[in-house]
Structure 1
Amino acid sequence: MPITKLSIVIPAYNEGRTIHFILNKVKSVSLRNNISKEIIIVNDRSTDNTEEAIKSYMDANTDMDIKYYAHELNKGKGAALHTGISKATGEYLVIQDADLEYDPEEFNDLLKPVVEGFADVVFGSRFMGGNAHRILFFWHTIGNKFLTTLSNMFTNLNLTDMETCYKLFDTKMIQALTLREKRFGFEPEVTAKISRVPKIRIYEVGISYYGRTYEEGKKIGWKDGFRAIYCILKYGMLGVK
């Protein structure tokens, strides 16, 4: 089935200062095969001016297909993704963080294996390929590789970057999953559950990474790493549905 529309799911929490930059980048991308873009923003009860920034952007860019949803309570990134995924109407969807760590120009790299008929799911890996990568946290890198290896042990996949933001899914396929994790446990949970879909075709492509420091707004911490281990064991080893 040809792809006519890509849903871009953007969870946002306290990104009022930069969200217009990422929306401009999404707007400027021309997708291969004239695929159209549906942008779904989910504001997870930000305490800054995120809502005002988004609504102002929408008013100034009425030519863009932007759908905006706001949580009444802060529920976590995973919960924002659940909302966005449930609202997607494109044949495929991709997750895009509201910060500037990932480059929407690479949507076409993610789409290529799907458009050519090889893939149902595509992960964008920060640890393969020759694209630009900001040099930052050694122990984050070690932790990420440990979590990916642990996840691979139970999913029998050979991913290099399970924790990546850039994941592209067949929309109906991911909407059929029961996703429970409301915070940063989303990544290991969705990886474990998508790996069990019969005849699933998962690909991985190299992407660039413009990481942020904590002073610049990075939110994930060591507690999220322990939660990821718990989720890998729960959904991977124990196979909780």
Structure 2
Amino acid sequence: MSTLSIVIPAYNEGPTIHHILDRVKAVQLTGNISKEVIIVNDCSKDNTEESILAYQSANPDLQISYYKHPVNQGKGAALHTGIKMATGDYVIIQDADLEYDPEEYNILLKPILTGFADVVYGSRFMGGNPHRILFFWHSIGNKWLTLASNMFTNLNLTDMETCYKVFRRETIQSINLKEKRFGFEPEVTAKISRIPKIRIYEVGISYYGRTYEEGKKIGMKDAFRALYCIIKYNIFSK
């Protein structure tokens, strides 16, 4: 039996994390694949830890490993911890909010399970799936960052900044990741693109975005950091 490691970075997600865990638990994976959930609490200031521990206690049938950073380091740092602790055959990134739908895990896994891919990106911009209408300039920023990344990596991705990325575990664990905040996306894309004979696929996914009042955290400074990381990891840190 194969295993999917689901890495969930969490920061101040107490009100919603039990909902996303319910959805992860409910997913029936094709191909006789089991689930390993790895939650990394990046020193939340709300009741995130209490919510996680209560859920873990009440749902012993869902394999949950819980880790906590003693100080807040950023989403990327939480992902580093989760990826390092993953033991499954495949690794997927899952945000702790409700913007991405775990029911689409099978769509993301299919190119890998059928032997075509080593890495799969879930694109919010490929069409054919529900997409909440929110921020015009966010969507423009995402597309420009994807374009800039593609110019350096020579990939033709439509959504480099997507949360949903699936990797073969040996692939993602072989990469020395540095970025501790939202620079994870351009860094991992740059480094993945340089792996010899890597096979990268992209599939369309749904997107149920949040407003800032609902808890969205990424902002303009993170967009500038992403652009910096595109330049840094494609030119100066090869």
Report the TM-score range of the alignment, normalised by the length of the smaller protein: over 0.9
Q: Counterpart in 2 of 1:132?
A: 130
Q: CA deviation at 1:237?
A: 2.8
Compute the TM-score of the two structures, normalised by the length of structure 2.
0.99
Aligned residue for 1:32, secondary structure, equals coil
Question: Given the alignment, which residue of 60, 63, 73 partners 1:62?
Answer: 60
Per-residue CA shift, 1:108-150, capped at 9, x if unaligned?
0000000100000000000003010000000000000000000
Q: Counterpart in 1 of 2:38?
A: 40
Q: CA deviation at 1:34?
A: 1.4
Q: CA deviation at 1:236?
A: 1.5
The amino acid across from 2:75 in the alignment is K
Q: Counterpart in 2 of 1:182?
A: 180
List 4+ stretches of structure 1 deviating above 6 A: none
User: Contact 1:129 / 1:205 at 8 angstroms: preserved in 2?
Assistant: no
Q: Superposition pairs for residues 16-165 of structure 1, below 5 Å?
A: 16-165=14-163
The amino acid across from 2:79 in the alignment is L
Aligned residue for 1:90, secondary structure, equals coil
Q: How large is the Cα RMSD of the aligned pairs?
A: 0.7
Per-residue CA shift, 1:53-92, capped at 9, x if unaligned?
0000000001111000000000000000000000000011
In structure 1, list runs of 5 or more residues that go unmatched: none
The amino acid across from 1:150 in the alignment is A
Give me the whole-angstrom Cα distance separating, in 2, the residues matched to 1:208 and 1:215. 21
Per-residue CA shift, 1:5-25, capped at 9, x if unaligned?
000000000000000000000
Aligned residue for 1:33, secondary structure, equals coil
The amino acid across from 2:228 in the alignment is Y
Give me the whole-angstrom Cα distance separating, in 2, the residues matched to 1:183 and 1:74. 10
Size of the aligned set, in residue pairs, is 238
Q: Superposition pairs for residues 210-221 of structure 1, below 5 Å?
A: 210-221=208-219
Give me the whole-angstrom Cα distance separating, in 2, the residues matched to 1:235 and 1:119. 23
Aligned residue for 2:36, secondary structure, equals strand
Give me the whole-angstrom Cα distance separating, in 1, the residues matched to 2:2 and 2:167. 14
Give me the whole-angstrom Cα distance separating, in 2, the residues matched to 1:95 and 1:237. 26
Q: Which moved more, 1:169-178 or 1:180-189?
A: 169-178
Question: Given the alignment, which residue of 6, 9, 19 partners 1:8?
Answer: 6
Aligned residue for 1:34, secondary structure, equals coil
The amino acid across from 2:59 in the alignment is N
Give me the whole-angstrom Cα distance separating, in 2, the residues matched to 1:115 and 1:80. 27
User: Contact 1:5 / 1:35 at 8 angstroms: preserved in 2?
Assistant: yes
Compute the TM-score of the two structures, normalised by the length of structure 1.
0.98
Question: Given the alignment, which residue of 196, 200, 215 partners 1:198?
Answer: 196
